[in-house]
Amino acid sequence: MITDIKDKTVSVQPIYEQIMKALKDEIVSGNYKNGYQFPPEPELAEIFNISRPTLRKSLKLLEDQGLIQQRKGRGTFVTYKTAHKYRIAIHGVSIESSAPFVNQIYFGLEQAFANTNKEFVFIDSSKSILDGFISAGCDGLLVIAPHQKQYNELNSSNFDQIPLVVLNFHNGTDFKRVCVDVEPHPLYPAIKYLKELGHRRIAYVTREPNAVEVNQIDRNKSFRQAVKELKLDDSPELYISGEAGDFFYEIGRKGASRLCQMKIPPTAVVCPNTTISLGAWQGIIESKLRIPDDISIIGYDIPEWANPFLTTLVQPELEMARKAGEFLLNQLKGKMPTSNHFVFNVKLEERGSCIPLNPNKTKK
């Protein structure tokens, strides 16, 4: 209320500047919206206990800044339009997560919405997506790697009018929502690269995912598919899998140790995520083999600052999140993309943990 503003004018600045600043704060914050009419000058001056000439100096400063307009014979009106603040719901990750992937998502969204008044809200994954979105009072929705039940919910008519983008999910032929994802065969570049280095006996250390872990399912399928397409050794013993629920690092460490103890060990190993990759590195070192002299290794999404400095497949997570944010912002503004599916390529970064196979190398 205007009567409350008087209590805020306690600085050593001239009183007309204090009144101007207090009124400006109320206008910009949206308390006095576009079209609001202030009380008549005599009443307003009385409220602030100032003279009308002093009040007019305050109002003149506000008018010069485009915040109000004084209309002769009609009064003083707010002309400033408060920018709409978009509330964006994020479903599928937690704000408490320290995973680099979550940070990249947040940074990418920040870049996409850089010049927009916005707020990101992480909604409860234990609820239905629609319930979480509605209870959070949001305008747009980003869903990350939904499982089949969530896929069905998102594809229902309940979401037809909600600005929505799905990240890290293949949209399929019957999925109506806008998706941003990596190619569906993400391990192929790694297997192809190792084949070009002369490797034929390439192992894979992974774990069996549960039904909702779409990305892990894709990567496991991709390894088997690449080995078949490139006509490499497809011995079952080269596919080492831990159980769902096991710690990733131990799956990698124990799986690599098991591979290294084989009578004929693989000459290279590939892993499907960061932690399994680091565990596999440890398992190879504990087996007294040298990387890359005795065995080459390729990880997945290993940060460039990580030790060891491991050759890795890299998802362009920042670019993916930024593109998802751009699609979502366009929908909020009433613009739909020309395509419902935008696919990024997974890149291979060589960092020294792979070398060409020595054809004269002695097998165990």
Contact 313, 346 (CB under 8 A): yes
Length of the chain: 364
CATH architecture assigned to 86-184+316-333: 3-Layer(aba) Sandwich (3.40)
Nearest CA to 271 out of 232, 311, 306 is that of 311
- Write down the pLDDT at residue 362: 45
- Write down the pLDDT at residue 30: 79
* Matching fold, domains 86-184+316-333 and 188-314: yes
Which H or E run includes 119? strand 118-122
Tens-level pLDDT at each residue, the chain (364 residues): 555 555 555 556 889 999 999 999 888 877 888 899 999 999 999 998 999 999 999 999 999 999 999 998 899 999 987 777 899 999 988 776 667 788 888 999 999 999 888 999 999 777 799 999 999 999 999 999 888 788 889 999 999 999 999 998 766 667 889 999 998 899 999 999 999 999 999 999 999 887 667 788 889 999 999 999 999 999 999 999 987 678 999 999 999 999 999 999 999 999 999 999 999 999 999 999 999 999 999 999 998 888 889 999 999 999 999 999 999 999 999 998 888 889 999 999 999 999 999 876 644 4
Contact 86, 163 (CB under 8 A): no
Domain boundaries, the chain: 2-78, 86-184+316-333, 188-314
Contact 76, 70 (CB under 8 A): yes
Q: What is the pTM of this model?
A: 0.73
| Signed CA dihedral, 320, 326, 332, 335: sign only | negative
Quote the distance between the C-alpha of residue 222 and its chain's center. 23
Q: What kind of fold does domain 2-78 have according to CATH?
A: Arc Repressor Mutant, subunit A (1.10.10)
Q: What is the DSSP letter of 76?
A: E
Nearest CA to 91 out of 154, 156, 172, 152 is that of 154
Q: What is the DSSP letter of 156?
A: S
| Main-chain dihedrals φ then ψ at residue 29, nearest 5 degrees | -75, -10
Contact 141, 324 (CB under 8 A): no
- Write down the pLDDT at residue 364: 44
CATH architecture assigned to 188-314: 3-Layer(aba) Sandwich (3.40)
Contact 81, 117 (CB under 8 A): no
Tens digit of each residue's pLDDT (9 = 90 or more) over 136-159: 999 999 999 888 788 889 999 999
Nearest CA to 127 out of 88, 89, 156, 172 is that of 89
